[in-house]
Structure 1
Amino acid sequence: MISVGLGVLLNPLNSSMISVALARLQHVYHLDFTDVSWVIFSFYIASAIAQPVMGKASDLFGRKKIFLTGLVVAFVASLIAPLSPNFGWLIVFRIVQSIGTSMMVAVGMAIVRIHITEKQATALSVLSIFLSGAAAIGPFIGGVLIHLWDWSAIFFVNIPFVVASFLLAWRTIPKDEPPTSAARNMSVRKWFDLIDAFGILLFTVGLVALLVGLLSAKSSGHVSSGPVILGLIGLVALGAFVRHELKATSPFIPLRTYAKYPAMTWVNVEFILVNVLYYSLFFGLPSYLQMVRHVSEFQTGILMLSLGLCSLVASPLAGRWIDKSGPRPALLVSGLLMTFGSVWIVTLNQTSPVTSVCLALAAFGISNGLNNVGMQAAMFKSSPKEMIGVASGLFMTSRYLGTILSSLLLSILMGDTFSAGGFRLLGVILSVLALSLVFMSWRRRESGQPVS
């Protein structure tokens, strides 16, 4: 459990620590907020693509091999990233780091399910603590490291975790079963068909082109032909992706599953919305504190700790509540808390005490703890047992899509400079989204399936 836990925490830890480093990276590389946001975009786009791919690869080559390979990749990326000569190379190493950490997340849960046969639910809950705990305390760790050293420390801090996980995993994780003869003798073309390499390519090209097109047209006052062409390429590629996935025998994202099980579709839509709300605050508030209120990275990390602590405290309480009452009441309360936190953001101004942001952080932290358990429970209720593996993969992809959309929202609203007015506008938009989430939770049936 420790060997797997130390490996899987690297993905949420590195996705959250970066939130307090955005202002410093802007200064170091002389970038505006939109450009520096690609350090977030790149990580989540790569994670959304790599995790289901590596999950399939582990079935072919063995879970222990993929887990150990991921640790090596993450080690190399963490060691080299601080030496990046420019921001473009930093993005490249962030993508490599994302792929490495995604290897561990993709197979860590499977390793626990296969090799821990007693008290399996307890083991899975412990693993979720590694995941949610790393994401929760990431901004605090990042703030402290940047205050004591520099932004490069948020990469170097991975090395002791990687080394400890590798040594423990090498000794404690049982060896993989030999691959089947079919997998051993499979041609490259058949293996590409199995992982749906063409679908992955279309999805990647479409998503990246569309995002680049949108970001390029951020707030310049006019739209040039370049962003429009990129956006159209992205839409065409995504359209081709949908058509391809509907015909593929082993699709990267099985879209037919959504059509066959509409309740599962609604769970994923809600989860995307939940993550747009949470990560808009998660990434937006540190930049607001540092660039508008001129709060140091260390103090920002301390303030952001309230978000993580509230989430950690709420998660086990949510588990007991949801076991008794089902996911609907917890998700409804979560939506109301997000609405309160979003409205509170709108009321903040230059004279508001900095500590007053803790109210918004506490509201979003508690709601995140409720959502971590509630959305997972709703997903299990809405998904047939024979498709739970596919449902879990789609569920994780929805998390990353929500995170990517939150970063895109911040970039469009803030443009070149993070401002108090832009942050208040963000609060207004989040308030509308949170009220929509409350409505969806209210209409949810007790079975966990929304009314179609």
Structure 2
Amino acid sequence: MNARSWWLMISVGLGILLNPLNSSMVSVAIPRLQHVFQLGFTDVSWVIFSFYISSAIAQPVMGKASDLWGRRKIFLTGLLVTFVASLLAPLSPNFGWLIVFRSVQSIGTSMMVAVGMAIVRIHITEKQATALSVLSIFLSGAAAIGPFIGGVFIHWWNWHAIFLVNIPFIAASFILAWRTIPKDELPASVQRNMSFRKMMNTIDVPGILLFTVGLVALLVGVLSAKSSGHVSLLHVIVGLIGLMLLLAFVRYELKISSPFIPLRTFARYPAMTWVNVQFMLVNVLFYSVFFGIPSYLQTVRHVSEFHTGILMLSLGLCSLVVSPLAGRWIDKSGPGPALFVSAILMTIGSVWIVSLTHHSPVISVCLALAVFGVSNGLNNVGMQAALFQSSPKEIIGVASGLFSTSRYLGTILSSLLIGIVMGGKFSFGGFRVLGMILTAIALSLVFMSRRLRESGQFQES
């Protein structure tokens, strides 16, 4: 690759890392935000929900929008949106405004993730595999060190700093992207003949609205009932409205030709469906640990944000180290063995969490996190390889989009699970119950991995 290609890759990398960085930094900020805004654990969980719901919607939408307006414009606009949100979030007068700016920040960072890989694929024609692997390092590295960076900045400057830390990355990415990303040459038919109605149908605005409002209403109904400690008529009504809207969303998506989430694809390819279900469960388990352990350390063990961030590095670094090793193993043996071992490790880690006490040695927590880090490294590569093996080549683009949707649904469900188990206050008893539930999920993944392997779905490469 020439120098211009390297600078292009760096500019994109600095932009796309903002999404995983901001989704992971907040894991160590939950107790501080509870104290600052005087809210229960379930209420503060919306700082997690809002980010993942917005990402789940924005990434596929912005991928479609890039076909209409160009990838360069979407990428640069995403940087500007993230810049504005990162400046305004620390000035939030209350928690409601913080959620608004957090959602806007998620949309901005998702705009870059949605088109970043495509920009590299289109404009770097030599050694594309190398370029994509470098971008993967930006993504996985940001997620790995996010809790550490968040812990350091919160410890020394307070929670506002986890938003302001974005500014240098945004500035560097914008300057480089403006100079290195070529302008898009859109087809004349897209530029001239696309009516507003056709544009809305292409993006599937009705489907997006049904999905968003339905999911938020269902979450509000369930979490409000848990947080308040009793089920009121209002909670039931809100929850039922959300459920009905989601059912209407499913019915609508099955009818239209360009759906937001192509549900019919799941019915046509059952093997691919099982891979997505397994991937969703993997993310439920992983992100329950990712957000649960920092709160356990700070609330139960009274560990500072700074030291919590350092301890969380054991999870991220193990994941980073194992991922390339997993790639070599999967190249030789296929994804089946790696996914089976990963499920076993997640079961061990979940049982380990249940065994933790108020006075467990810190090294015990680190080892539990390391076990989950190794399993995550195996899953990062193994699940992607499983997707490629189970998906026909002609729909691999759609399959990749559904795969991302499964990831975000898993993260949303993990936040919901923690909120339901903990209620208004994070407690050691609730943490232990969470560990038991995660053990059950891990055991189901062991069964699923073994069944898929024995069925012959995952053949050796």
Q: TM-score, normalised by structure 2?
A: 0.96
1:219 Cα deviation after fit: 5.1
SS of match in other structure, 1:207: helix
CA contact (8 A) 2:42 2:227 kept: no
Comparing 437-446 with 344-353, greater Cα deviation is found at 437-446
Alignment pair present for 1:143 and 2:151 = yes
Hey, what's the Cα distance between the residues in 2 that align with 1:179 and 1:216? 49
1:1-400 matches, within 5 Å, as 1-218=9-226, 220-400=228-408
Hey, what's the Cα distance between the residues in 2 that align with 1:279 and 1:443? 24
Provide the aligned length of Structure 1 versus Structure 2.
Answer: 451
Q: Structure 2: where are the runs of 5+ without partners?
A: 1-8
Hey, what's the Cα distance between the residues in 2 that align with 1:208 and 1:450? 37
1:222 Cα deviation after fit: 2.8
Hey, what's the Cα distance between the residues in 1 that align with 2:290 and 2:186? 43
Please give the root-mean-square deviation of Cα atoms over the aligned residues, in Å: 1.3
Counterpart amino acid of 1:438?
Answer: V
Hey, what's the Cα distance between the residues in 2 that align with 1:251 and 1:205? 17
SS of match in other structure, 2:56: helix
CA contact (8 A) 1:25 1:151 kept: yes
CA contact (8 A) 2:386 2:458 kept: no
Match of 2:444 in 1: 436
Instruction: Describe the shift of the 1:73–1:446 C-alpha distance in structure 2 as closer, same or farther (beyond 3 A).
Output: farther
Counterpart amino acid of 2:434?
Answer: L
CA contact (8 A) 1:263 1:450 kept: no
Q: Structure 1: where are the runs of 5+ without partners?
A: none
CA contact (8 A) 1:210 1:231 kept: yes
1:355 Cα deviation after fit: 2.5
Counterpart amino acid of 2:22?
Answer: N
Hey, what's the Cα distance between the residues in 2 that align with 1:307 and 1:27? 26
Instruction: Describe the shift of the 1:168–1:448 C-alpha distance in structure 2 as closer, same or farther (beyond 3 A).
Output: farther
CA contact (8 A) 1:217 1:223 kept: yes
- Measured against aligned partners, the alpha-carbon deviations of 1:336-375 in whole angstroms (never above 9, x if no partner) come to 1110100001111112112210111001000111111111
CA contact (8 A) 2:68 2:190 kept: no
Counterpart amino acid of 1:15?
Answer: S
SS of match in other structure, 2:84: helix
- Measured against aligned partners, the alpha-carbon deviations of 1:226-248 in whole angstroms (never above 9, x if no partner) come to 11111111111011111110111
Counterpart amino acid of 1:333?
Answer: V
SS of match in other structure, 2:226: coil
Comparing 179-188 with 249-258, greater Cα deviation is found at 179-188
Comparing 41-50 with 187-196, greater Cα deviation is found at 187-196
Hey, what's the Cα distance between the residues in 1 that align with 2:232 and 2:18? 40
Comparing 211-220 with 124-133, greater Cα deviation is found at 211-220
1:399 Cα deviation after fit: 0.6
SS of match in other structure, 1:418: coil
CA contact (8 A) 1:253 1:394 kept: yes
Hey, what's the Cα distance between the residues in 2 that align with 1:303 and 1:224? 41
1:118 Cα deviation after fit: 1.6
Alignment pair present for 1:408 and 2:391 = no
Hey, what's the Cα distance between the residues in 1 that align with 2:227 and 2:170? 41
Instruction: Describe the shift of the 1:159–1:347 C-alpha distance in structure 2 as closer, same or farther (beyond 3 A).
Output: same
1:180 Cα deviation after fit: 2.9
SS of match in other structure, 2:217: helix
Hey, what's the Cα distance between the residues in 2 that align with 1:44 and 1:180? 35
1:16 Cα deviation after fit: 0.2
Comparing 387-396 with 438-447, greater Cα deviation is found at 438-447
